[in-house]
Amino acid sequence: MESIALTKSARIVVDKLMGVKEGELVTIFTDVEANQNIAKAVLGAAYEVGAEAILVTMTPREYAGQSIKGKFPPTLVACLKNSTAVFACTSKGVLGPMTELRQEMLRAGSRLMHMYRLSEEIALRTIPIDYEQLRSRVSKAVSLFPQAEKVRVTSREGTDVTLSLKNRTVAMSSDGYCRPGELDMIPSGFVDISPVEGTANGTVVLDGTESGLGIGLIREPIICEVKSGRITDIRGGFEARRLKKKMESADENATNYAELGVGFNPRALPSTGNMLENERCAGNIMVGIGRNSHMGGKIESNFHFDGIITNATLTVDGQPILKDGAFQI
């Protein structure tokens, strides 16, 4: 029964979101540590629409910080350069190792669906959603954020922070639909932007999942005080102490309030410890600290940390977007 459901989910990704056509050249690539059933389901869905599809399995590649460990095999590179639709069903994120190749592919009109670290359970739950509604909400956020002079985020746990997004470019928007020259992700539903440097002020309470400490689910909330775009104090338990220690051992820009991400997927769960899913959960807000140069900002750093605020309230220039995690748009 589960295999039938996985097949249906793969068809949604291949047919509806990627729009794969008969005769189209398609590459699905995976690695030996990834879930092979997902890659095979995507291959089967591509076969059903009549595409010329190939599945390539490699040893894992890893992107850690700004260092790349292991380039892609020449055989895979050749397949990717000659495909117009690509599915990355890998155990780790591969956007780093394939940065130049990805840019070349997208410029040529190819499209890439990034499906890394995806379990069957997450796929079955987060893929079958209302993508028209998702696209509408993501589009609204994309139009509002770059014009926003005052964004306020609050939560019942004590978050109350304001910042400006005025004239910033959205770094990533995911509505599921992947058009020629575009990249999207599964699970879908995320908008990511870097606040104007120096504008964030207030208190941030991270109570969901973290990425950067190797812990995952935050057991005791991390309380961060923010002044003029910098983290000035960190309080809490073990996770807070570990974050503080890591920031102190990094460079001077590690305290930068770097990122605002908003989740939109209605079937993603808020606090499983899987950042891939939790940052896309409808009603969750992601806060990034440290480097923002990779997403259009001005700050370079050897440090970047992401943490989640669950059940957030979000207003943009006074317009309510989220209230206690529920959409108002």
Residues 141 and 273 in one domain: yes
- The domain spanning residue 25 has which CATH number? 3.40.1830.10
Are residues 158 and 78 part of one domain?
no
pLDDT exceeds 80 at position 302: yes
| Closest-CA residue to 91 (of 54, 125, 123, 61) | 61
What digits encode the pLDDT tens for the residues 12-67?
Answer: 999 999 999 999 999 999 999 999 999 999 999 999 999 999 999 998 876 544 33
Q: pLDDT of 259-272, one tens digit each?
A: 999 999 999 999 88
Q: Is residue 151 domain-shared with residue 32, that is, in the same domain?
A: no
* CA separation for the pair 187, 123 (Å, rounded): 7
pLDDT digits (tens, 9 = 90+) for 182-239: 999 999 999 999 999 999 999 999 999 999 999 999 999 999 999 999 999 999 999 9
Which helix (DSSP H) or strand (DSSP E) does residue 241 occupy? helix 238-249
Q: State the Cα–Cα distance between residues 309 and 202, nearest whole angstrom.
A: 14
Residue 271 carries which side chain, given as an amino acid letter?
A: S
* pLDDT for res 118: 94
Helix ranges (DSSP H) in 30-130:
36-48, 74-81, 99-107, 120-126
Say whether both 210 and 249 belong to one domain: yes
User: Where is 141: in which H helix or E strand?
Assistant: helix 131-144
* Nearest C-alpha neighbor of 211 from the set 251, 156, 160, 259: 259
Using one digit for the tens of pLDDT, what is the confidence trace for 288-298? 999 999 898 99
Per-residue pLDDT tens digits for 133-163? 999 999 999 999 999 999 999 999 999 999 9
pLDDT per residue as tens digits for the range 86-140: 999 999 888 776 778 889 999 999 999 999 999 999 999 999 999 999 999 999 9
Residue 80 in this model has a pLDDT that exceeds 80: yes
For 314, the domain range is 131-327
pLDDT cut 90: percent of the chain above it: 87
CA-based end-to-end distance of the chain: 36
Selection from 260, 234, 272, 230 nearest residue 321 by Cα: 260
Q: What is the pLDDT of residue 66?
A: 38
Number of domains within the chain = 2
Whether residues 74 and 164 fall in one domain:
no
Q: Answer yes or no: do 254 and 196 share one domain.
A: yes
Single-letter amino acid code for the residue at 328:
Q
Q: Which two tokens stand for residue 287?
A: 């806060």
> Nearest to residue 5, comparing CAs of 122, 116, 112?
122
Q: Are residues 67 and 154 in the same domain?
A: no
312 & 196 share domain: yes
Residue 68 has pLDDT above 60, yes or no: no
pLDDT(240) > 90: yes
168 pLDDT tier (thresholds 50, 70, 90): very high
The phi, psi pair for 294, rounded to 5°, reads -75, -5
Helix, strand and coil percent figures for the chain, each rounded to 5:
30, 30, 40
Q: Which of 102, 126, 150 is the last residue of a domain?
A: 126
Question: For the whole model, what pTM was predicted?
Answer: 0.92
Is residue 151 domain-shared with residue 107, that is, in the same domain? no
Rounded Cα distance, 243 and 304, in Å: 11
Q: How many CA atoms lie within 13 A of 288 on its CB side?
A: 27
pLDDT at 2 over 70: no
Domain co-membership, 310 together with 162: yes
